[in-house]
Amino acid sequence: MSSYDFDAIVIGSGISGGWAAKELTEKGLKVALLERGRSISPADYLGEHKPAWQFPFRQLGDRKRYERDYPIQSTCYAFGEPTEQFWVKDSEQPYGQDPAFPFRWIRGNHLGGKSLMWGRTTPRWGPVNFEENKRDGHGVDWPIRYEDIRPWYDHVEEFIGVSGQTEFDSPFAPVGRFQPGMLMNACETFVADSIRKKFPDRRLTIAPSAVLTRPLHGRAPCHYCGPCERGCSTGSYFSSISSTLPAAKATGNLTIITDSVVAGLDYDPKSRKVAGVRVIDQHTRAGKRYTARIVFVNASTLGSTQILLNSTSESFPNGIGNRSGVLGHYLMDHPYLTVSGVIPGMLDKYTIGNRPAGVWMPRFHNVEGQTSPFLRGFSYEASASRANWTDGVSMPGHGAALKQRLREYGPWSFGFYGFLECLPNRDNTLTLDKVRKDKWGMPILNTRFEWGPNDRALAKQMVSDATQMLKSAGATNISLPPEEMPPGGFGIHEMGTARMGRDPATSFLNGHNQSHEVANLFVTDGSCMPSVAAQNPSLTFMALTARAANYAVQQMKAGAI
Amino acid sequence: MSAGFTIDRRAFVQLATTFGLSLSVPCLAAKSSAALLTTDEWTLIGEVSELIIPTTDTGGALAAGVPDFVKMMLSDWFNESERENFVSGVHEFSAGALKKYGKNFGGLTASQKDQFFGELLATAEGGATAPRTPFVVLMKRLTIFGYYTSELGATTELRQQIATAKYQPAAVVKPGDRADSGLPGATYWFNAG
């Protein structure tokens, strides 16, 4: 023990890295948590509760600076004047895109990572999601099944606090250990009822969401201010800062090391293990090396893959543990497409409070085996709200009459945001640039991503189903997404480039998120996923991380690592 | 809907796809907006904003500081081409008033001002095609955005409740209730084109 700096090193402090740190420290390990960005505390939630007039650009943001420094990040819905401190400057940290097959890499490099700005919808995956790769042959078979992960879903939900409904138990969203769910508003309830009359198998409910409705571990229930991505001083939504890092710190076993960019992992061919982690100070660029008995890589799908690819040695010239050659292949994301309409009526109803959870509809295609002309399916997030003053520009006229109209609520509008299950494709890749390096001397990451024919077929079906459902609720002014699908990355559900599997020849990790080749190397962020299902993935990242961390500790205690 | 400047959080991503195409336009150095227009023209901006959102039982655009918002947007947010379009729009608008009434806009009666602006806006909103967004439409967008994101517009004209502690999914609208100005998501959108 004494020859190592730490028992464990966790690289990355976002959703999965925070979980690795919590589990490992609670099991008694001395853990170093490496974060490439700066430290964050609730004092950094600069936009929280701040009204528009207190921002220099009234929440429009400094457009010219954004065009120069944030051309990619500013395309994310959660980016803006109240949140801009949480995003990577694209101008300072470039990556490559294939012009014909672009990929938008949305990044938050600071303590807590994207857990500060995430969307918080946390459905479980269902049994079918772990079986479908085997059934239809797309992607390698998952090395685990639902029953393997089920107790870890319980464990994670109870700790992070997930509010959700418990009446409808979908095979694609099993009911979990939920706090009471938030409430659907008048219009959402009406649309849900209308859909159910016409399509009995389609259920619109409040989404399971990592926002508290009951106090938990010193965190307060939601106060309904709305835009969680500005940060939450009451810790009401789950983030590493509100939840896992305080728990890890409380053990006394955690050392947080910020501003440390991981350049690569050193491999020792004698022990066949990771021998050390090389870091570069993000400001001084001074190099340093840390050692530990085990290493968890949780730097986000693209970040982790970049580190692993850049960890070359005589034994592994194409990246540590990459004997199979799959590292950097099979990049996936959820395309999401919006269909919305105006729902007449209910003009005497409105909402008080800004609810931070959406409603959603679990997948309803190919539920009992393969019954649709396409593979797999899609789910919807959705929400309804009443129009307000922002509709004023599309109303004719001016003067007192216009002012009076904008004083009153406008009609209800309802939006469906479809999330499609994208199939794994070997040609969707991450590679290291052979020439260009970032300011820390790391080769920059190049991306190449395209949607496949099944993804496109799902998109068409999703738009058509959403349109029919809106019509069943009497919607008018139905607005459809552009024909051309958005580039990959917009779902911010990037996954798959260091996938799990049963066969070391076709996968990077085994069923415990452990490298097939390097016994003390674990990867438990989105890069580990052999498929993406049609559910939001972060809860599954957390459950896999907790499961892997407990396995790693068992293996250490048994002397196997 | 093309004139909109706000969108819901998820839909933003789709519009952003389109927006992304224009992100590489090089930004030109901001000019001081005070120098872009004469004092009289700035007075005109204020008068036009007040025509769009007038003082009623609550303060209007002038009381909400809309002209200062327009100055900020012109100098710091609009790009060079948008700024040129706006400035030439002001000149055209002034010249139009002079031609029609034989007087500067500032010298017209209140009802003449309202009629002149109203006719131009009605033409623009009636589907008339124009190579660039007309001045009257830009002023309407700027005024509405500037007014309802001001403290006066958001909290006196409308109602603002930032953290309600409870969520009421089907509250009943009572006569005289004012709409919530909302604490929107991170991003607004403005079309200065």
B167 and A355 within 8 Å at the Cβ level: the answer is: yes
- Is residue A48 within 8 A of residue A226, CB to CB? The reply is no
Q: Is residue B58 part of a domain?
A: no
Tokens matching residue A422: 């994208």
Give the model's pLDDT for residue B32: 63
Quick check: is B116 in a domain? yes
Q: Looking at residue B184, what is its pLDDT? A: 65
Beta-strand relationship, A163-164 and A179-180: parallel
Give the total number of structural domains in chain B. Answer: 1
B59 located within any domain: no
**Taking all residues of chain A, what is their mean pLDDT, rounded to a whole number?**
97
Chain B window 20-59: which residues touch A at a Cβ cutoff of 8 Å? Answer: 20, 23-25, 27, 30, 51-54, 56
pLDDT in tens, A207-248: 999 999 999 999 999 999 999 999 999 999 999 999 999 999
Paired strand residues for B159: B180
Residues composing chain A: 561
Report the residue of chain B nearest A74, measured CA to CA: B16
Instruction: Work out the number of other CB atoms within 10 angstroms of the CB of residue A146.
Output: 18
**Each residue of A486-507: pLDDT tens digit?**
999 999 999 999 999 999 999 9
Structural Rg of chain A based on CA atoms: 23
User: How far is C-alpha A225 from the chain's CA centre?
Assistant: 22
List the 145-174 stretch of B: residues with Cβ below 8 A of A: 145-146, 148-151, 153-155, 157-158, 160-173
Evaluate if residue A15 carries a pLDDT over 60: yes
Residues A437-490 have pLDDT tens digits of 999 999 999 999 999 999 999 999 999 999 999 999 999 999 999 999 999 999
How many C-beta atoms surround the C-beta of residue A147 within 10 A? 9
Nearest to B157 by CA among B48, B46, B67, B59: B59
pLDDT of residue A213: 98
Whether residues A391 and B4 touch (CB distance < 8 A) is answered with yes
Does residue B72 belong to any structural domain of this protein? yes
The rounded distance, in Å, linking the Cα atoms of A402 and A561 is 71
Phi and psi (nearest 5°) for A156? -70, -45
* Contact by Cβ (8 Å): A456, A485: yes
pTM equals 0.94
Q: Write phi, then psi, for A430 (nearest 5 degrees).
A: -120, 130
Nearest CA to A32 out of A248, A266, A242 is that of A248
Is B142 part of a structural domain of the chain?
yes
Looking at the domain assignment, is residue B171 inside a domain?
no
In this structure, which long-range contacts are made by residues A271-277, counting pairs with CB atoms below 8 Å and at least 24 apart in sequence?
Answer: A272/A517, A272/A518, A272/A519, A273/A518, A273/A519, A273/A520, A273/A521, A273/A561, A274/A320, A274/A518, A274/A520, A274/A521, A277/A9, A277/A11, A277/A34
Nearest chain B Cα distance for residue A413, angstroms:
11
- CA distances to A236, A335, B145 from A49, rounded to whole Å, are 14, 31, 19
Condensed to tens digits (0 to 9), the pLDDT of residues A301-325 reads 999 999 999 999 999 999 999 999 9
Domain ranges, residue B149: 64-158
* Strands of the A429-437 sheet, one edge to the other: A96-97, A443-448, A429-437
Low-confidence ranges of chain B (pLDDT < 50): 1-30
